[in-house]
Structure 1
Amino acid sequence: MTQELTLFDIPTAKGAETWSPDVWRVRMVLNYKRLPYKTEWVDMPDIGNVGQRIGAKTTIQKPGSKTQEMLWTCPMLIDPNHPNALGKSVVLSGSQVIVEYLEDAYPERKVIPEGTAALHAAWSDFITQNIEEKIWTLVVTLCPNILSERGKQYFVTTRETWWGPLVELCPDREKAWAGVKEGLDKVAAALDSNGEDDGANLRVVPGRETYADFVMLSLLLWAGAIVQRDEWDTLRSWNGGRWGRILDFHTDVVKIQ
């Protein structure tokens, strides 16, 4: 019997709500593979201490660090089902590392079908260019609004040290949203090449969910958790309501345990 895995996630001020696109990608893979897991919620200022406690590896270099200081980030994952040579649970960090591990350790429901690794990599680059890079400043400037008071203070202090004042990252939201629409138009055109039968243009690979869908969905969910409600409603309506339909189409993997 498969034991319960543990996924480490960052709560909002309301509590158990996923907002990070990196965590969403892992969560959707766990849901798709139907693996039993629980969530351990870690407020943003505590991620480093928790990472050290569980023995997770650091994942990113602290921006601007002259000493190459490394930081822990969420997601992190503990898997008790495949103990290492010392008999201890596997501890992982970083969404890509975790997804690749889950594909190898639990191959029953593949999210990256055989022979599609290169295509998935290319699609991820395409999504980064046309969604993530377009929407980043719009979302990051509002991230503090959804965090706990401790999380908000930590986010603002660290990010403004790295990037400068958050309010200056997106001086013209109307112009930034126009860039997002341009990027989403390109993604919609790519999906339209699949045709329209049976929801074909709501999936990257017609007929099945794959990690390519999760990469795209994670950024939409990130925006939906943070941007202003009128902005979100507008985004959902673009391309004939495509983005709202895509989110509704994949509700089976968009859940929290």
Structure 2
Amino acid sequence: MSLYNDLKPITLYDIPSQRGAWSLNTVKTHFCLGYKGLPFNTEWVEYPDIAPKMQQLGADPVTTDPNRQVKYTLPVIYDPNQSRFVTDSFKIAEYLEETYPDPERPLFPHGSVVLAAGFENAFDSCIDGAHYWVLCDVPSMLNPRSAQYFLKTRSEWLKVDKLIDISSPGSEQRTKHENVMRKGLGLFEGWMKKSKGKWIMGDTFSFADIAIAAQFFWYMRVMPPTDWEKINGWRGDGLKWEQVVIDVANECNVKLDTTPPTPAS
């Protein structure tokens, strides 16, 4: 039973799609809230509405650097129990841990905040650049307004005529991205073999497991089934990477759709 059943529900601002929850970073917050047993509601915000909505609410930007293209992004939470907005998935996890401590269900057990941040960055470095492969497929599952916004802004930022140009099927770039992804996941699997338990910290669940599961959930939700099944099979222990998502979703009591999209007929 949760320690916090009497709280007012926290609001999680998330980006909608034709397949429900999908975003890498907002899914981390879904998992964190579920794991802590905190009541929450989801408010969906289309891509072009994120900046004006967050400015109107008074939420902090993700950065104040004038050279960064994205100033406002999701996830953002509003906690009515503390009258506070928090931006950024990692900062949200830290906030939830500090504000709603639960010795039975810590996100950062044994003071592992720094280790969790380092592990997440290390995993990202393993597959650096390969995310362009996934990025190309995002517009196909967004709602029309968000899809148009995503295509326009990402093409401008990446300086390509069409977003698909960064990793089009059959191109040298796609082959490079696939090779980087496969090599990176092989390195990650080697790390996992050093764990003596089910989770990254052995028998102890942590935010590091959430961060990795969110990555695989993103691939699962966004990519065409043939591409996802290719990645899903790049695991050498007889299991598939989707099991990471299923295990974390179960541990966090979060009922996300963990089935890949149905191929078009």
TM class, shorter-length: 0.7 to 0.9
- Give SS of 2:81's match: coil
Question: Following the alignment from structure 1 to structure 2, what is the Cα–Cα distance between the partners of residues 154 and 69?
Answer: 13
Question: Following the alignment from structure 1 to structure 2, what is the Cα–Cα distance between the partners of residues 19 and 223?
Answer: 9
The alpha carbon displacement at 1:61 in A equals 5.7
Please give the per-residue CA displacement for 1:133-180, whole angstroms capped at 9, x wherever unaligned. Answer: 243111111111111111011011111111122222124323311211
Partner of 1:93: 87
**Higher relative contact order (CA closer than 8 Å, sequence separation 6+):** 1
2:106 matches 1:110 = yes
- Give SS of 2:130's match: helix
2:115 matches 1:119 = yes
The alpha carbon displacement at 1:255 in A equals 2.9
Q: Which has the higher helix share?
A: 1
Please give the per-residue CA displacement for 1:31-86, whole angstroms capped at 9, x wherever unaligned. Answer: 10010000000111111121022110111468xx66x776211111110112xxxx
Question: Following the alignment from structure 2 to structure 1, what is the Cα–Cα distance between the partners of residues 78 and 111?
Answer: 28
- Give SS of 1:71's match: coil
Please give the per-residue CA displacement for 1:199-249, whole angstroms capped at 9, x wherever unaligned. Answer: x2x410122321000111111111111111011112222223241222222
The letter for the 2-side match of 1:35 is L
Contact kept, 8 Å, 2:216 with 2:242, in 1: the verdict is no
Partner of 2:7: 2
Question: Following the alignment from structure 1 to structure 2, what is the Cα–Cα distance between the partners of residues 251 and 222?
Answer: 13
TM-score, normalised with respect to structure 1? 0.86
| RMSD value, Cα | 1.9
Contact kept, 8 Å, 2:31 with 2:249, in 1: the verdict is no
Partner of 2:259: none
2:134 matches 1:139 = yes
The alpha carbon displacement at 1:125 in A equals 1.8
The verdict on how the C-alpha distance between 1:94 and 1:121 changes in structure 2, with shifts beyond 3 A counting, is closer
Question: Following the alignment from structure 1 to structure 2, what is the Cα–Cα distance between the partners of residues 13 and 60?
Answer: 29
- Give SS of 2:212's match: helix
Q: Mark the runs of 5 or more structure 1 residues left unpaired by the alignment.
A: 83-88
- Give the 5 Å matches for 1:175-186: 175-186=176-187
Partner of 1:213: 209
Partner of 1:156: 151
The letter for the 2-side match of 1:181 is R
- Give SS of 2:21's match: coil
Percentage of matched positions with identical amino acids: 28
